[in-house]
Amino acid sequence: MEGSSMAAVAYRITVAAMFSAICADVVQALPLDGTQWHVKAINSHVTPLKADYHIAFKDSRMSARFGCNAISGSFRLSNGRVTVSQLVSTKMACGAPAGAFEEAAVGILHSPMKVEKSTKDRLRLSNRVGSMDLEPGP
């Protein structure tokens, strides 16, 4: 009996390791480079429909607008996390609600973000600071 229970434990560990490896490959395979996204919500607050809320990733560069200023930087995707660095921005004064959305989004960009598929074609970027919900589009 002892040998069969050890075999069962070894089997469970093998299956768990295979499942973990498959999940890691799926997360790593999420498309990011060469994509453009409409920012649907920031910290679960829906962005205004008639304003420019977008983020794009191309050739290791990120560009974004969260209702007001143009923002850009470098990005790197590794192990299902995207890290943005060397952020620069125009410095226009932003009224409400764009100013608050932009401040929250830039705060999120300053820390590595987990990249998750939230639905079939939507992504969520999240970290300890907050989250951004993205859908395909400019």
Q: How confident is the model over 19-72, as pLDDT tens digits?
A: 444 444 344 446 699 999 999 999 999 999 989 999 999 999 999 999 999 999
What is the C-alpha to C-alpha distance for residues 47 and 134, in angstroms, rounded to an integer? 11
b (16+ CB within 10 A) / e for 30-69? eebeeeebbbbbbbeeebeeeebbbbbbeeeebebbbbbb
Query: Tokens at residue 18, please?
Result: 């295979």
Q: Are 105 and 86 in contact (CB under 8 A)?
A: no
Domain covering 32-136 assigned CATH 2.40.128.270 in the classification: yes
